[in-house]
Amino acid sequence: MKFDVLIVGGGVNGLTAAAYLARTGKRVGVLEQQKSLGGVCVTQEFHPGFRANVCVDDPGWMPAHVAQDLNLAAHGYTPAFAPVGAVFPGQSGEAVMLPSQPAQAVAALRTHAPADAARWEAFCGQVHRLSGMLQALYNERTPVIGRPAMADLMPLLALGRRLRGLGKRGMVDFLRAVPMPVADYLDEWFESPQLKGALAMWGVRDVQHGPMSGGTTLVYLNQHVGIPAGLMGGRRLVPGGVGQLPLALAAAAKAAGAEIRLNAEVIQIVTKNAAISGVVLVNGEQLEAPVVMCSADVRRTFGMLMEPGLFDPDFLGATHNVRMRSPVVRLHLALDGLPATSWSREALGGTISLAGDMGQIEQAYDAAKHGGIASRPCLQVTIPSLHDSGMAPAGKHVMTVHAQFAAYRQQGGWTTDQQRLAVEATLQQLNNWMPGLSDHVLQVASFTPADVEREFLVTEGSTIHGELALDQFLFMRPVPECARYATPIPGLWLCGSSVHPGAGTACASGWLAAREVMNTWKKK
Amino acid sequence: MLYALAEATPRMLKTTPFHPRTSALCEGQNWRRWAGYVAASSYDLTHEREYFAIRNSAALLDVSPLYKYHVTGPDAARLLDRVVTRDVGRAAEGQVLYTTWCDGDGKVLDDGTVARLGDDRFRLTAADPNYRWLGDNARGLAVDIDDVSDTIAALALQGPNARVILEAATGASLAALKFFRLTTAVINGVPVTITRTGYTGDLGYEIWLDNAGALAVWDALMAEGAPHGIVPTGLLALDIARIEAGLLLLDVDYVSARRALIEPQKSTPMELGLGWSVSELKESFNGHRAMRAEAKRGAEWKFVGIEVDWPSLEELFAAKGLAPRLPAQAVRASIPLYDINSGEQAGYASSTCWSPILKRYIGLAHLQARFATPDTRLHMEVTVEHHRKRALAHVRRLPFFDPPRKRA
Amino acid sequence: MSQTHRYDVIVIGGGHNGLVNAAYLARAGKKVVVLERRHLVGGAAVTEEIYPGFKFSVFSYVVSLLRPEVIRDLNLPGHGLEILPLESTVTPMFNGDYLAGWADHDKTRAEYVRHSRRDADAYDEYGKLMHHMAMAVKPILAMVPPDPTSLAPSDLRGLLKLGKHFADLSPKHFHALYKLMTMSAGDFLDEWFETDVIKATRSASGIIGTFMGPRTPGSAYVLLHHYMGEIDGAFRAWGFAKGGTGAISESIASAARSFGAEVRLEAPVTHVIVKGGKATGVALENGNEYHAPVVVTSLDPKRTFLKMLSPSDLPAEFVEDIKRYKIRGSSGKVNLALSGLPEFTCLPGVGPLHRGAVSISPSMEYVERAYDDAKYGNFSRRPYADIIFPSVIDPGMAPPGKHVMSAFVQYAPSSITGGWDATKREAFGDAVIDAIATFAPNIRDLILHRQVLTPQDIEDITGLTEGNIFQGELALHQLFFLRPAPGWAKFRTPVAGLYQCGSGTHPGGGIMGAGGRLAALEILKDTGSRL
Ligand SMILES: Cc1cc2nc3c(=O)[nH]c(=O)nc-3n(C[C@H](O)[C@H](O)[C@H](O)COP(=O)(O)OP(=O)(O)OC[C@H]3O[C@@H](n4cnc5c(N)ncnc54)[C@H](O)[C@@H]3O)c2cc1C
């Protein structure tokens, strides 16, 4: 069968690319190995009547026009921001809430840490400005390639600075903050160990780094791209679960004429005369297309889907060196109810940070750094059923726990013992926070990095397709030779989270990649 | 005890398995380093007799320091085809290929030979270490790479009498062994592989064996060779022979792209006169895009022979009241070559020597393409009594010396 | 009776940077005085006879970063500077084996082959890359950092120059440089080597003087910082100054005096005198005042701006920036007087390894765990150490037949829980001896005297805040135009007439002399004088 474009992977980026390309009238096919769409942005039933956001709690920021262009609301994607951002236990276990209204957050902090309350608004302002700078960078393909020079980068930053109305000092703050350890960054603002611990979790989310690692402030800022000022640790709530996004994208793509195939695992991307000619499916079927866009992660793409002889070994080596190493274990609990707790429903509706202080997070990271599992993992807990009754049967609840740190590379691999260890340590932490919770658990579904790798075919379970770090950012993401979506093979494009901006954003890589492809058509 | 693992006094340099013999013969203790080994520069106090053995009787050279790799397994040919420029998949069993290999930009990393020992067994020889490079190229392939540099010994037996000596030592006829083919044999009870290859441009063979048999093989060859004028030969004599034969040397005539510090130091196969070794049939291999583009465009540099005009040299020396004086050894220094009209630099000679057999002052040179046509007249820099002068020189086709016996 | 003295320039602190600064200014005809608190010059680069007959390079112990232009401009060899080569690095391993890097390439390659053929090949290419990287960064070391956020013409010119410099790099090199600036030493080395002990030993130069582990992003830059000396042609690699590192300072002081500078010892400055927003001089502990239109501080930024000036003399934002400047001390030093040379079980006897460095970095995990201890406020139970035997290279350092040993140790956090005291100091010293004795058991029997220096001791003796050897961490957010504070990286300060020239300025720590020199050039520019 002949297509104009084949897209490997039906995650949000693949589907976004499909929708945009199909709108040009080309014949576009999407090939998804799973029986459902969405890749890691998926909501699944894990116990009769209980649905969970399997890998991610929030689809992430997307360029504003994508929702309009593809009419996503009409197709069922209607996100709203949670009214409460981070919530964490104070000195005596009480809930300290950080609602989006700064005045309320300040009031909440005043009893917990008066000095910090005074700095709260200024902090939120700076985070908003600096993450806004990132957002400006994320709306465009990455600068600087081919002629890589500081001289090119600086005007771009200057452009960003103008765009965001950052003053000279704001620019300094940005350049200074981005490489910093989030621990140092937060130390500059706050005193409360609990507050700093709770916030620091966003600086290490999905990466195998502790808060004392340089570059974690970048991760922190990245997490807050597109989040309203003041909503620290805030997330988007999606009625129906995060899996609504790929469904809406798929509907848009189909409406534009794209063909979508499920259970269609691509095992090889094939070339003829060193240019793309199509793909081979696991059942042996061959599909032809002069353009293949691959949304699989970079290591999978070049390490498993392509004939290595086509590439310069240095290039292959570089793609192989991209750090993936997800340190996350996710648990989904089906609960027959919530135990009695002093925490309000409003507090439970936030993103609950059970991390202790930054030292404890660092210690949990140490375990993974040395190839093990944290005995006291740091948790971020959400209860989606509080916002969306469709997630669980009436009166019952779903609790999702995002736990760090557990090394992907366990000495001896991820065995069932290892998995049990990780799950028990996590449940223990949960129970410490909410005694009696275990009595309400009907079912636990757990996903280790190895599970995510196996099920979603992402290397080392990295839902962000490559650690977010300064050396895997912008024109370095995933490797300089494909940072602008094109690859050394004519006709092969990357369009997944491995490429700028990727890493926790939605649709942006897919859209920017599609735009590059469309530009080549225009030129012809 | 555990710490027996380490040597009490770390050894300085490696010696080859022939060292007990070669060290006894090396009268001037004239050694140089070669790939981390000590190797004899010459055994006699001068290398003249050794040179003439190469051309007139037979020379025996210890070439064990070469890097050697065994590449085996179902994808062995595929790996080598990814790496080298020649067509390994199409080589017959028993065939040996001289080849270069390049980085992704088509710049030469190294040159050496690939011997097809069996259907999926190859031996690659190299001037530089290539273990990591082979490994990097083997991603996704079912192949074993074994560095046998320190476990396989090698001798070169070169010169018009090489065949008779080797036939006597092996008790087998080598008449059927063609140029760049290999066979197996037994010498003094030691199984060996014999390739009809060498680095002298003469009739010659190279003999490959496990280290353990080294002395037995050396002794047998020396004994059988005695009536035929065999001479243990060092690297100084070899250097002259290889210049006469137009064979280039890594680090002297070109810089490996791996080690070049700036782009202009790198070369393509075409620039080294090795365009012929770049397969036109293989679909993809390292650097093929760049090499094919260059083939269309034409190379900017050419690798040619250069011969200094003797009368012009005599004249320069005569002006100082001297007869021409040339170094006895091959010169491994870069010497500028100039356009005879404009005086602009046309290129440089990277190896030069007085050829004792041709009685000419010759060299290997890199020239910008427009100066590289045979018989082009150029100027070459010569130092006469502390003064820099320019002598007339002519571009020549390589090799300078190519006796029919080499292939016959 | 307090006295006053008038000069063109007062330099606070007679560390090597202060001395370099003074020498350049004196050479340009300025009347310069250097005021040094201690009884000898050198700061962190001193040689002292701590025990009779035994001379120690008390703090810094090896040299490679010293700028060749400083050596030439000040004719330091003419003033006694002589640098002897350190030949090797040997890392003893737990299994009784060792890893060595020798002066000779073939020998080192053979040694790497013993551990991994692949790594032996990688070693050559890695060396070439680092050479290129050092070449790429070198011009930056000799340049006043332009401010990328500024639109002033001089900054734009500087940026353009810098931009041009980077544009001349090949893409491959630019990307590699970018990686070095941002990655952890461990991750960076993972891309090159497979042998743990090779990575451990190489990554050790990525942690020296910083509060980072080999797996902390940012440590790869420190690796490069320590590679810089290898390309200048002045020294190929690390060397040892004859007479100890104090001899370097002495030679600079001698050069400065030869140009007419005065060096006053035991002259501790208490504060900078500021009048009408201008520095006009300094006051000493004994009440004496020195006056000059130019005052240069070589002390670390915290000491200068938070202790020698009143906050009212400085913009509030600048004070905040200096408070935020990270200067965590992470290193200690153990200096031993020995009755003989210790025997390492991996290479028994006395041999070539004693002529070079011995690195206690047997594995990545070992070094990383040493860091883990420090993160939580303890000294490393099993510390990393870089050891040399100066008396083997320069017999004058110890009585005949006897030896001195210098061990630079990490980690010893300045912010140790509960603060440093004598008990902790000795416990730290014991941990260091234990770590060394693991590989050289007879060392215990050879110790005649032991000097243990904690970060607290380093601070008390040299005045380096928190004992940080670089006057502030070499972290990306504290380098270049951000060192020591945004907007104040050009050796000037918010106080007119007050300049800074210590390691807390660009390009940072180590015995380099770069800060001292660059600051002198800027001062001469401002005062309209010529070199
Ligand atoms: C233990 C240790 C080991 C090191 N090892 C090495 C190494 O091997 N190689 C290397 O290159 N670098 C090494 N370093 C780093 C290097 O020594 C320093 O970065 C460098 O010497 C700093 O020089 P400086 O002139 O900038 O500052 P300093 O040397 O700190 O000079 C400041 C001077 O000011 C004086 N001072 C302080 N307060 C006052 C006051 N109130 N009034 C007057 N004077 C005052 C001090 O006494 C001192 O002399 C090491 C440092 C330490 C501490």
A19-52 pLDDT tens trace: 999 999 999 999 999 999 999 999 999 999 999 9
pLDDT band, residue B6 (cuts 50/70/90): very low
C408 lines ligand 1 (CB under 6 A): yes
Alpha helix ranges (H) inside C55-152: 68-73, 105-115, 117-141
d(CA A94, CA B126): 71
Q: Are strands C403-410 and C331-338 parallel, antiparallel or unpaired?
A: antiparallel
Task: Tell me what pLDDT residue A153 has.
Answer: 59
**What domain range includes position C256?**
4-83+242-326+465-526
Chain A residues lying within 8 Å of B258, measured CB to CB: none
Residue B350 makes CB contacts below 8 A (sequence gap 6+) with B252, B253, B254, B332, B334, B363, B364, B365, B366
Whose tokens are 């999606």? That residue is A238
Taking the CA of residue A170 and the nearest CA in chain C, the distance in Å comes to 9
Q: Do residue B200 and residue B99 come from a single domain? A: no
Q: Are strands B67-72 and B121-126 parallel, antiparallel or unpaired?
A: antiparallel
Contact A309 B284 (CB under 8 A): yes
Chain A residues lying within 8 Å of C175, measured CB to CB: 148, 476, 480
Domain endpoint, select from B192, B218, B233: B233
Question: For chain A, how far is it from start to end, CA to CA, in angstroms?
Answer: 24
pLDDT band, residue A91 (cuts 50/70/90): very high
Task: Tell me what pLDDT residue A154 has.
Answer: 59
Is it the case that residue B8 has pLDDT exceeding 60?
no
Q: Do residue A94 and residue A215 come from a single domain? A: yes
d(CA A207, CA A378): 13
Quickly list DSSP for C157-223: HHHHHHHHHHHTS-HHHHHHHHHHHHS-HHHHHHTT---HHHHHHHHHTTTTTSS--TTSTTHHHHH
One-letter identity of residue C156:
L
Is it the case that residue A149 has pLDDT exceeding 50?
no
Task: Tell me what pLDDT residue B145 has.
Answer: 98
Q: Do residue B293 and residue B202 come from a single domain? A: no
Q: Do residue B89 and residue B127 come from a single domain? A: yes
pLDDT band, residue B395 (cuts 50/70/90): very high
A203-238 pLDDT tens trace: 999 999 999 999 999 999 999 999 999 899 999 999
Q: Give me the count of residues in chain C.
A: 531
Residue A92 makes CB contacts below 8 A (sequence gap 6+) with none
Domain assignment present for residue C234? The answer is no
CB-based contact (8 Å) between B280 and chain A?
Answer: no
Domain assignment present for residue C124? The answer is no
Is it the case that residue A147 has pLDDT exceeding 90?
no
Answer with the residue of higher pLDDT: C229 or B42. Answer: B42
> Which chain C residue has its CA at the smallest distance from B132's CA?
C118
Domain assignment present for residue C118? The answer is no
Q: Do residue B49 and residue B164 come from a single domain? A: yes
Q: Which atom of ligand 1 is nearest to the CA of C66?
A: 11
Task: Tell me what pLDDT residue C481 has.
Answer: 84
From C37, C238, C248, the mutation candidate for ligand 1 (largest count of ligand atoms within 8 A of CB) is C37
d(CA C193, CA A35): 41
Task: Find out whether A361 and A206 touch, Cβ atoms under 8 Å.
Answer: no
Q: Do residue B325 and residue B349 come from a single domain? A: yes
Domain assignment present for residue C165? The answer is yes
Distances (CA, A) of C163 to A152, A173, C522: 8, 22, 22
Chain A residues lying within 8 Å of C216, measured CB to CB: 212-214
Q: Do residue A412 and residue A468 come from a single domain? A: no
Q: Do residue A440 and residue A486 come from a single domain? A: no
Q: Do residue B202 and residue B331 come from a single domain? A: no
Tell me the mean pLDDT in the region B241-266: 95
Q: Do residue C437 and residue C345 come from a single domain? A: yes
Contact A309 B285 (CB under 8 A): yes
Domains identified in chain A, total number: 3
Task: Identify the H or E element spanning B187.
Answer: strand B182-187
DSSP 3-state of C466: helix
Q: Do residue C271 and residue C367 come from a single domain? A: no
Task: Find out whether B244 and B49 touch, Cβ atoms under 8 Å.
Answer: no
Residue C72 makes CB contacts below 8 A (sequence gap 6+) with none
Contact A273 B82 (CB under 8 A): no
d(CA C114, CA C136): 32
Is it the case that residue B2 has pLDDT exceeding 70?
no
C63-103 pLDDT tens trace: 888 888 999 999 999 999 999 988 899 999 999 999 999 88
Q: Ligand 1 centre from C467 Cα, in Å?
A: 9
C335 lines ligand 1 (CB under 6 A): no
Task: Please state whether B159 falls in left (phi above 0), alpha (psi between -120 and 50) or beta.
Answer: left
In CATH, what number is assigned to the domain containing residue A335? 3.30.519
Task: Tell me what pLDDT residue B3 has.
Answer: 33
Q: Do residue A252 and residue A269 come from a single domain? A: yes
Q: Which of A327, A300, A317 is nearest to A479 (CA)?
A: A317
B292-334 pLDDT tens trace: 999 999 999 999 999 999 999 999 999 999 999 888 899 999 9
Q: Do residue A330 and residue A318 come from a single domain? A: no
Q: Do residue B283 and residue B369 come from a single domain? A: yes
CB-based contact (8 Å) between A313 and chain B?
Answer: yes
Number of inter-chain CB pairs under 8 A, B vs C: 67
> Which chain A residue has its CA at the smallest distance from C158's CA?
A151
Is it the case that residue A146 has pLDDT exceeding 70?
no
Domain endpoint, select from A457, A476, A495: A457
Domain assignment present for residue C385? The answer is yes
Tell me the mean pLDDT in the region A385-389: 95
Task: Tell me what pLDDT residue A144 has.
Answer: 62
Domain endpoint, select from B147, B177, B211: B147
C269 lines ligand 1 (CB under 6 A): yes
**What domain range includes position A377?**
325-457
- Torsion angle of C-alpha atoms A6, A9, A15, A18, degrees rounded to 10: -10
Q: Are strands A43-47 and A328-335 parallel, antiparallel or unpaired?
A: unpaired
Q: Which of C333, C335, C334, C340 is nearest to C443 (CA)?
A: C340
| Closest C-alpha to ligand 1, atom 30 | C43
Domain assignment present for residue B249? The answer is no
Q: DSSP 3-state helix, strand, coil percentages of chain A (rounded to 5)?
A: 40, 20, 40
Residue A195 makes CB contacts below 8 A (sequence gap 6+) with A88, A96, A109, A112, A113, A116
Task: Find out whether C337 and C51 touch, Cβ atoms under 8 Å.
Answer: yes
Domain assignment present for residue C119? The answer is no
Q: Do residue A205 and residue A248 come from a single domain? A: no
Q: Do residue B193 and residue B54 come from a single domain? A: yes
Task: Find out whether A270 and A280 touch, Cβ atoms under 8 Å.
Answer: yes
Which tokens is C233 given?
């042609």
Domain assignment present for residue B190? The answer is yes
Q: What percent of chain B has pLDDT over 70?
A: 97
DSSP B64: T
Q: Which atom of ligand 1 is nearest to the CA of C511?
A: 11
Q: Do residue C209 and residue C296 come from a single domain? A: no
The segments of chain C whose pLDDT lies below 70 read: 1-2, 150-151, 156, 159-160, 167, 229-237, 530-531
In CATH, what number is assigned to the domain containing residue B358? 2.40.30.110
Residue B357 makes CB contacts below 8 A (sequence gap 6+) with B55, B244, B401
d(CA C139, CA B172): 66
Contact B261 C117 (CB under 8 A): no
Domain assignment present for residue C91? The answer is no
Q: Which atom of ligand 1 is nearest to the CA of C35?
A: 43
Task: Tell me what pLDDT residue C249 has.
Answer: 98
CA atoms within 13 A on the CB side of A56: 33
Task: Tell me what pLDDT residue B153 has.
Answer: 98
Chain A residues lying within 8 Å of C203, measured CB to CB: none
Q: Ligand 1 centre from C316 Cα, in Å?
A: 28
Residue C24 makes CB contacts below 8 A (sequence gap 6+) with C73, C74, C516, C517, C520, C521, C524, C531
The mean predicted confidence, pLDDT, of chain A is 93
Task: Tell me what pLDDT residue A155 has.
Answer: 59
Tell me the mean pLDDT in the region A478-492: 94
Task: Tell me what pLDDT residue A187 has.
Answer: 96
Q: Do residue A373 and residue A300 come from a single domain? A: no
Nearest to C97 among B5, B132, B135 (CB): B5
Number of inter-chain CB pairs under 8 A, A vs C: 109
**What domain range includes position B338?**
263-396
Q: Do residue B137 and residue B169 come from a single domain? A: no
Q: Which of C93, C88, C114, C116 is nearest to C103 (CA)?
A: C88
CB-based contact (8 Å) between A268 and chain B?
Answer: no
Domain assignment present for residue B228? The answer is yes
Q: Do residue B104 and residue B169 come from a single domain? A: no
Task: Please state whether B282 falls in left (phi above 0), alpha (psi between -120 and 50) or beta.
Answer: beta
Q: Ligand 1 centre from C138 Cα, in Å?
A: 22
Least confident of A366-380, A491-505, C170-184: C170-184
Domain endpoint, select from B127, B147, B167: B147
Chain B residues lying within 8 Å of C120, measured CB to CB: 129, 131
Domains identified in chain C, total number: 3
The mean predicted confidence, pLDDT, of chain B is 95
To test the contact with chain C by mutation, choose from A119, A156, A176 the residue with the greatest count of C C-beta atoms within 10 A, namely A176
Q: Do residue A451 and residue A387 come from a single domain? A: yes
CB-based contact (8 Å) between C82 and chain A?
Answer: no
Task: Find out whether B51 and B201 touch, Cβ atoms under 8 Å.
Answer: no
Q: Are strands C89-92 and C357-360 parallel, antiparallel or unpaired?
A: parallel
Q: Do residue C351 and residue C431 come from a single domain? A: yes
Task: Tell me what pLDDT residue A251 has.
Answer: 97
Task: Tell me what pLDDT residue A168 has.
Answer: 76
Burial class (CB in 10 A: 0-12, 13-18, 19+), A316: buried
> Which chain C residue has its CA at the smallest distance from B8's CA?
C347
In CATH, what number is assigned to the domain containing residue A295? 3.50.50.60
Q: Do residue C198 and residue C248 come from a single domain? A: no
Q: Which of A210, A217, A194 is nearest to A123 (CA)?
A: A217
C92 lines ligand 1 (CB under 6 A): no
Domains identified in chain B, total number: 3
Q: Do residue C487 and residue C398 come from a single domain? A: no
Q: Give the gyration radius of chain B's Cα atoms.
A: 22
Q: Do residue B180 and residue B157 come from a single domain? A: yes
CB-based contact (8 Å) between A93 and chain C?
Answer: no
Task: Tell me what pLDDT residue C64 has.
Answer: 82
Q: Do residue C395 and residue C422 come from a single domain? A: yes
Task: Tell me what pLDDT residue C487 has.
Answer: 87
Domain endpoint, select from C190, C221, C252: C221
Contact C149 A177 (CB under 8 A): no
Q: Do residue C470 and residue C358 come from a single domain? A: no
